[in-house]
Chain A
Amino acid sequence: MIRDGFWSMGGYARFVWPCFGAALAVLSWNLWAARRFLAAARRRSVRVMAMAESER
């Protein structure tokens, strides 16, 4: 059961919820950007290996 005044946060909703929203955004961005960076590094490595093999 959600306590009374949960959504209004005792009148501080416009400060509390954006903070948690910003935290969610930062956590999500970190995960997304890190995975994207790893995928790009993998693709680059595959490309380098393919170029090295074609030169042989």
Chain B
Amino acid sequence: MWTWFYRLASPPFVYRVAATLTPWFLGLAALTIGYGVIDGLAFAPPDYQQGDAFRIIYVHVPAAWLSTFCYTIMAAAGAVALIWRIKVGHAVAAATAPIGASFTLLALVTGSLWGRPMWGTYWAWDPRLTSELILLFLYVGIMSLRPAFDDPARGDRAAALLSVVGVVNVPIIHYSVVWWNSLHQGATVAKLGKPSIAGSMLWPLLSMFVGFMLFYGAVLCIRLRGEVLVRERQAAWVREAVKS
């Protein structure tokens, strides 16, 4: 089993698989995001309380979900790299950080634009908003920490350690609306049992979820190939990979 595990994480294998998957992920992401945007903006009915402003959820919720999902992937990859000394783990973590940071920023900006008409303010020091802002700071800290060391291996280890420690913020973000009094609404889609959202509003949202995930997969594959090339530039297989 371990032989298989290590072979799966070998840089040439990862480079090849990432190159194969990229166009598939991108094509499917374009289809699902395209459907989600058209259905969400043009065909889903307005909300009975929020009117057309509710359509912001079609970008805000998938972005917020991706912000925590990317962080979890980054921390898991960092942990794998620290525990089993698998170098590709550091490459996955380094490739994921800027993607996660950009989606965290998008979640904060779109949430703020939704908050103005609904709460009467762009920003409130609400538990959900504050913990999401801390997530953005964690991303920025991890991205800054990696190149701060002269020895890249030490930078990778420090960034992995910080991302593993910071993963405690992910459940805090998720349960902040349950644990504390919050302006932010509770779970709508991911509620156990029946989601409290009409089907005509839910389908475009699910499509955007899938689309954003596929988009993350595509961008991760592109960035991962770059990270692997940088880390393996002295290896013999890179010569063939770069020529092709």
Contact string against B for A residues 38-56, beta-carbon threshold 8 Å, 1 for contact and 0 otherwise: 1011101110110010000
Please classify the interface of chain B as helix (H, G, I), strand (E, B), loop, or mixed, using the class held by over half of its residues: helix
Q: Is the CB of A19 within 8 A of B51?
A: no
A15/B59 contact (C-beta < 8 A), A26-B102, A30-B99 known: no
Q: Is the CB of B222 within 8 A of A34?
A: yes
Q: Is the CB of B59 within 8 A of A38?
A: no
Q: Which residues of B contact A30 (CB under 8 A)?
A: 98-99, 102, 215, 219
Q: Which residues of B contact A18 (CB under 8 A)?
A: 113
In the assembled complex, B41 has its CB within 8 A of some CB on chain A:
yes
Please classify the interface of chain A as helix (H, G, I), strand (E, B), loop, or mixed, using the class held by over half of its residues: helix
In the assembled complex, B117 has its CB within 8 A of some CB on chain A:
yes
Q: Is the CB of B106 within 8 A of A12?
A: no
Chain B residue total in the interface (Cβ 8 A)? 41
Roughly how many angstroms separate A10 CA and B222 CA in the complex, as a whole number?
A: 40
In the assembled complex, B53 has its CB within 8 A of some CB on chain A:
yes
Roughly how many angstroms separate A2 CA and B223 CA in the complex, as a whole number?
A: 38
Q: Which residues of A contact B138 (CB under 8 A)?
A: none
Q: Is the CB of B99 within 8 A of A6?
A: no
Roughly how many angstroms separate A40 CA and B109 CA in the complex, as a whole number?
A: 30
Q: Which residues of B contact A5 (CB under 8 A)?
A: 52
Contact string against B for A residues 7-40, beta-carbon threshold 8 Å, 1 for contact and 0 otherwise: 0011110011011101100110111011101101
A45/B219 contact (C-beta < 8 A), A6-B41, A10-B46, A22-B59 known: no
Beyond A10-B46, A16-B52, A22-B109, 5 additional contacts (C-beta under 8 Å) are: A6-B42, A15-B116, A16-B55, A18-B113, A30-B98
Interface pairs (8), CB distance under 8 Å:
A3-B42, A16-B52, A19-B113, A22-B110, A30-B98, A38-B222, A41-B227, A52-B234
